[in-house]
Amino acid sequence: MAEISTIARPYAVAAYKFGKEQKALTKWSEMLGFATQVANDAQMQAYIQDPNVVASDLQTTFLKVCGNKLNENAQNLIKVLVEYGRLAVLPAITTAFEELKAQDEGVLEAQIVAASKLSATEIKDLVKRLEAKFGKKVEATVSIDPEIIGGIKIIVGDTVIDASVKGQLQNLAYTLAA
């Protein structure tokens, strides 16, 4: 998996720099997202991975399916990916691009794991507190995991805030074992 992200990163950085230079990051985000949807389609996946498909045919077919959703520059990116046999890396390129865009915009992704469903007010309050703590805009995804017993667990980048009952019990067990 690290290999794919290593391959994808230079393409994502190039697309990001070009998009920023052209003041078109949102457009690039849309184009990459659409191209990734096309690449993730089951039939297209089979076509991309078929060793009997010639690169020029793959390029023509992929661009035809994308139609006018890609501008000339995005089409050139697809052509380069096809030429070097890296079209399968497109989803990783899109992910890396979105991470770069979010960093630039000062947006952090947060995962909030709760033992039970949180109200909209509770989520809004948590997001406000996270934004104050990190000094950046926070976009949160909330999931329910009854295994944490109670409380919440928040993951923002490399930072984990574990206020769950399960986490507290694990800490207590570790302390008692030491």
Tens digits of residue pLDDT in 49-75: 999 999 999 999 999 999 999 999 999
Residues 141 and 119 in one domain: yes
Tens digits of residue pLDDT in 129-172: 999 998 888 989 999 999 999 999 999 877 899 999 998 999 99
Tens digits of residue pLDDT in 87-98: 999 999 999 999
CATH no. for residue 41?
Answer: 1.10.520.20
Residues 52 and 114 in one domain: no
The count of domains in the chain is 2
Residues 92 and 129 in one domain: no
Inform me whether the pLDDT recorded for 1 exceeds 70.
no
Residues 88 and 37 in one domain: yes
Residues 63 and 119 in one domain: no
Question: How many helical (H) and strand (E) elements, i.e. helices and strands, does the chain have?
Answer: 8, 4
Last residue of a domain, one of 69, 102, 135: 102
Last residue of a domain, one of 102, 121, 149: 102
Yes or no: say if 115 and 150 are a contact pair by the CB < 8 Å rule: yes
First vs last C-alpha separation in the chain: 36
pTM of the entire structure? 0.64
Residues 76 and 7 in one domain: yes
Residues 63 and 10 in one domain: yes
Last residue of a domain, one of 67, 102, 137: 102
What per-residue confidence (pLDDT) applies to 135? 87
Containing structural domain, residue 161: 106-177
Q: Please state, in angstroms and as integers, the Cα–Cα distance from residue 20 to each residue in 14, 31, 35, 41, following that order.
A: 10, 14, 19, 29
- Cβ neighbours of residue 9 closer than 8 Å, sequence gap 6 or more: 96
Residues 111 and 173 in one domain: yes
CATH no. for residue 114?
Answer: 3.40.30
Residues 65 and 48 in one domain: yes
Residues 14 and 66 in one domain: yes
